[in-house]
Structure 1
Amino acid sequence: MSTGPEDGLPDLRARLAAYEGRVAASAGVGKDPVNEPMIRHWCEAMGDTSPAYRGPDAVAPPTMLQAWTMGGLSGHTDRSEAYDELLALLDGAGYTSVVATDCEQEYLRPLRPGDPITFDAVIEAVSERKTTTLGTGYFVTTRMDVRTRGELAGTHRFRILKYAPRSRANRPNPPTPRTESSAAAPARRPRPVVNRDNAGFWEGVAAHRLLIQRCTACAVLRFPWLPGCHACGSQEWDTVPAGGAGTVYSYVVMHHPPFPAFDPPYAVGLVELAEGVRIVSNVIGVPYDKVRIGMPVRLEFLRVDAELELPVFRATAEGEG
């Protein structure tokens, strides 16, 4: 039976659940209206050159949705006390660390320069107690509805984990070499997050096909998979299979932290495919310290356990097809 820092506080889960549905921010106002300088800075940082974000008919990149609601260093004055109370309750129960885990966004109408921003936020959910690699804690999800001129422009869900870090004695140890007599089950690789936007990619991997999205309006290829085209904004697309050839565009060598199912050091490459898009994956077939920028690689599919296969890239000899 798992234990946590709140043992002796049997009503904690009920107290946390009481915050579900409570207002986290009410009638918030964006510190700036949608504006061209912020759009330009965002596009430069993202390397997004779409003409849709420039000129007299420009719209803001949809993924900027949260940016228009941020309070900066001075924060917002319209934040309710409920969210701070919830975090304080978790702090008091021993869950003093926090990490952002993921966000989900839904876009309902485009935002244009000059649009004023208002928003409301609610504490949507507090999970049951969960045990993770970092430690034991609770996932807290907030939902923010972003509006302009009275219309709902989009919804942003943001999830954090408030947790108690594992004690040093209970942290995973670096992987040790396995022997034929070892009876311990191998650690499982983390599972990829599969959603409606990328399910087709993982179906392709299961069939040993690396599928690249192609906009059917302007024929631009894109990877990773996205709901819409970064070049023209169209939401219509099909796929083309990658041929498998590529080169190492950049790479890192992972030494730390040790993590179950991984055996550092190992090389993680940003591979540029012959089709022109780039993908992050492991570079195999050579020692980690022999990986080099420009090295030719070839796509393979690696089965890491009974349920999971992943695309990886094996170093090849120069000129090998």
Structure 2
Amino acid sequence: MSTDDSDALYEALKGFEGRPTSSASVGRDPVNEPMIRHWCEAMGDTHPAYAGPDAIAPPTMLQAWTLGGLSGHPADSADSADSADSADGTRRSSAYEELSALLDSAGCTSIVATDCEQEYVRPLRPGDTVTFDAVIESVSPRKTTRLGTGHFITTRMEIRADGELAGTHRFRVLKYAPAAKTAEARQGDPKPLRPRPVVNRDNAGFWAGVAEHRLLVQRCAECATLRFPWLPGCNACGSRTWDTVEASGAGTVYSYVVMHHPPFPAFAPPYAVGLIELAEGVRMIGNVVGVPYDKVRIGMPVRLEFQRVDDDLELPMWRAGVED
């Protein structure tokens, strides 16, 4: 695509910013205790605020109440004739379809979700009726990524409970033209690297421990509950104060999967990924090594080891068949 064509495309894409993709949509169900219970059981979240007569919904369920399910939402009050359900739960008006079609025509035929952001204003409670509006908030200039070249599209959804703003959900995708390489070019590529772990202010201490060959688990300073993954607050009592304990490195396979697809250049499928229950009682995910992938079994004892996967990355893994 020439520079002039690229500039013209971007100007057309910018024209979609601010256009609504959903208006006055209504959640399929009011906020309800069974859904909250299922969510908490799936997440292992036992915080007392999410049960009992004064229960609230976990804040991270904000978008859950907007999802249309397999049958989708009833007709919206705006653009209902041209609407269609999307992967992130909104009802897409013709604006989003037109934007997608424009990118398709420019060769950006692939799409991948990149991230979402949520802001919480007030808690959702059983019985609340959820409504939501969504707009195309922004379309980025042309970006080149390892996947290919395209544009990031951000939609913003405002979610209300009985008419009162409860929170905001931003969902971002990359619509791109896949990068093409010849076989000769691929042969000359350096060995592909594993994806880098996302290190942020909440989990930086964990990765600092890995660098020292220590597996650190958070411990609540108020109720002494251990937790993993690392979180800013205790999911048992809500305290935001904590310290750490070093795990012994012993554990068992609580559950596992064998990865066959999708293939990724830095990995050699099939391989086993285990949910490991540590002797301390918390669980974490990691590769199971030391035995063939088809010999991994639930209950199998494992022990922590640190493996260097490239010059800049060392990861905790779990060697099977090691008895204490």
* Global fold match (TM > 0.5): yes
One of 95, 103, 106 as aligned partner of 1:90: 103
Aligned partner of 2:218 in structure 1 is: 213
Distance 1:266 1:193 in 2: 22
Which runs of 5 or more structure 1 residues have no equivalent in the other structure? 177-182
Q: 1:29 to 1:289 in 2, by over 3 A?
A: closer
Which runs of 5 or more structure 2 residues have no equivalent in the other structure? 79-90
- Matched positions, count: 307
Instruction: Give TM-score, length-normalised by structure 1.
Output: 0.80
1:110 aligned onto 2:111: no
Tell me by how many angstroms 1:96 deviates: 3.0
1:248 aligned onto 2:246: no
Tell me by how many angstroms 1:165 deviates: 4.8
Distance 1:117 1:276 in 2: 37
1:193 aligned onto 2:198: yes
Native 8 Å contact 1:299 1:311 kept in 2: yes
1:74 aligned onto 2:72: yes
Tell me by how many angstroms 1:60 deviates: 0.8
Q: 1:120 to 1:196 in 2, by over 3 A?
A: farther
Distance 1:257 1:36 in 2: 36
SS in 2 for 1:68: helix
Task: Report the RMSD for the aligned CA atoms in angstroms.
Answer: 3.3
1:58 aligned onto 2:55: yes
Distance 1:130 1:196 in 2: 28
Aligned partner of 2:272 in structure 1 is: 267
1:12 aligned onto 2:25: no
Q: 1:27 to 1:257 in 2, by over 3 A?
A: closer
Aligned-residue sequence identity (percent) comes to 71
SS in 1 for 2:268: coil
SS in 1 for 2:97: helix
Letter in 2 for 1:97: S
Distance 1:142 1:130 in 2: 21
Letter in 2 for 1:131: T
1:35 aligned onto 2:32: yes
Native 8 Å contact 1:52 1:233 kept in 2: no
Instruction: Give TM-score, length-normalised by structure 2.
Output: 0.79
Q: Deviations over 1:265-300 (max 9, x none)?
A: 322211111111111111223333333322222222
Q: 1:51 to 1:243 in 2, by over 3 A?
A: same
Q: 1:184 to 1:162 in 2, by over 3 A?
A: closer
Aligned partner of 1:140 in structure 2 is: 153
